[in-house]
Amino acid sequence: MCPGPEGRSVSLGAVDLNLLVALKALLEEGNVTHAGARVGMGQPTMSAALARLRRHFDDELLVRVGRDFELTPFARSLLPEVQEAVKLLGDALRVTDRFDPATSERLFTVALSDYALAVLHEPLRRRVKAVAPTVRLAFTDLGEDLLGSERVLLRQDILIGPPGYGFAGRHMRLFRDRLVYIADAGNRHLTGAGLSMADLRRMSHANAVFRGGVPTPVDRAAAELGIDRHISMRVFGFLPLLFAVPGTDAVAMVPERIAVRFAGDGRLRVLDPPFTPPLMLEAAWWHPSKHVDPAHRWFTAVLREVAAELRRSEPAQLPPDPVLDRAIGR
């Protein structure tokens, strides 16, 4: 029971299981479309479920505020009880709490940037296939509603992103990188062995941007160093820069792991910045409720193994990181 509008008590007992699952998704997502996608319902079906739930509880549950929706006070009070009810039902219907990776067909969804995908995809797939041949992996891009709320972490098993951006939930450090510059091998401005601060102020820059206008580590470094960049080109993510810079006079700052991988064809030069290279750290984030799932604990353990592998191949110039070493068990 939980208090409803005007202090009345409302029971979940009259809500059938399918409607209860829809209610949990609606309250956690705060969005009809996202909730429907999460539980495999089309928007008309989910809208119909919301209408039934509104009649049942005599409350709007979701109200539009501008272009978004917000939970009503009653809906906020209802959410913990709904979550607990679904959990208890899941516990009662689960045959076993064990997870056997050798036979499981579980799908794990990972949200991450193009850069993190380039670094993680091969070692993660290889390790999963070795011990869990029928486990499936799905990689999705980072949405725009990432910051400040744990709700987004309910839509996937793992989110890969750097600390310091306001991601909620639990996290584990995965791997580090240096930020270096790339330029066309024939860039007319590169007359010396490397870059100077004067070069960076004179040359045009290609810049990666993130969804939602979130500042990148490159933006932060430029602001801290007072580099007034003339940005002639913007692309979403770091990977497109590796294809956009060749043939231009622009420079771009990208993570070293992907820079050296794509510089082998001779079209690009990889250059250290004329200052201590900024460091990037990527971490795995997940909703606290997922840690009770043995399958999810197995998956985070695999990520820890991949992190240990990536630690051995990181750029040699990186300083020691005892916190990362403890996180990956080194």
Residues in the chain: 330
Judge whether 306 and 327 are in contact, CB under 8 Å.
no
Phi-psi region of 266 (alpha: psi -120 to 50; beta: other; left: phi over 0): left
Average pLDDT over residues 53-82: 87
The pLDDT score that the predictor gives to residue 35 is 85
Looking at every residue in the chain, the average pLDDT score rounds to 84
The pLDDT score that the predictor gives to residue 16 is 65
The pLDDT score that the predictor gives to residue 12 is 53
Banded pLDDT at 158 (limits 50, 70, 90): very high
Amino acid type, 71:
L
For residues 280 and 178, give the distance between their C-alpha atoms in angstroms, rounded to a whole number: 6
Three-state DSSP state, 282: strand
Q: Find the range with the poorest average confidence among 82-96, 204-218, 308-322.
A: 82-96
The pLDDT score that the predictor gives to residue 208 is 93
Where do the structural domains in the chain lie, given as residue ranges?
Answer: 2-93, 109-173+284-327, 176-279
The closest of 255, 230, 257, 235 to 245, measured between CA atoms, is 235
pLDDT of residue 246 exceeding 60, the answer is yes
What confidence tens digit (pLDDT) does each residue in 46-58 have? 899 899 999 988 9
Average pLDDT over residues 24-32: 87
- Provide the CATH topology of domain 2-93: Arc Repressor Mutant, subunit A (1.10.10)
Average pLDDT over residues 81-96: 66
Average pLDDT over residues 260-264: 84
The CA–CA distances, whole Å, from 133 to 21, 126, 137, 184 equal 30, 10, 11, 42
Terminal CA-to-CA distance of the chain, rounded, Å? 48
pLDDT of residue 2 exceeding 50, the answer is no
Please give the class, per CATH, of domain 176-279.
alpha beta
Judged on CB neighbours under 10 Å (0-12, 13-18, 19+), 66 is exposed
The pLDDT score that the predictor gives to residue 323 is 78
For residues 51 and 32, give the distance between their C-alpha atoms in angstroms, rounded to a whole number: 11
Judge whether 226 and 103 are in contact, CB under 8 Å.
no
Judged on CB neighbours under 10 Å (0-12, 13-18, 19+), 23 is buried
CATH number attached to the domain at 109-173+284-327: 3.40.190.10
Q: Do domains 2-93 and 109-173+284-327 have the same CATH topology?
A: no
Average pLDDT over residues 204-227: 85
In the chain, pLDDT over 70 holds for what percent of residues? 88
Buried b (16+ CB within 10 A) or exposed e, 135-156: bebebeebeebbeeebbbbbbb
**Is pTM beyond 0.75 here?**
no
Three-state DSSP state, 1: coil
Please compute Rg for the chain using Cα positions.
Answer: 24
Mention every residue, 6+ apart, whose C-beta is less than 8 A from residue 136: 105, 106, 107, 108
Three-state DSSP state, 157: coil
Average pLDDT over residues 155-174: 84
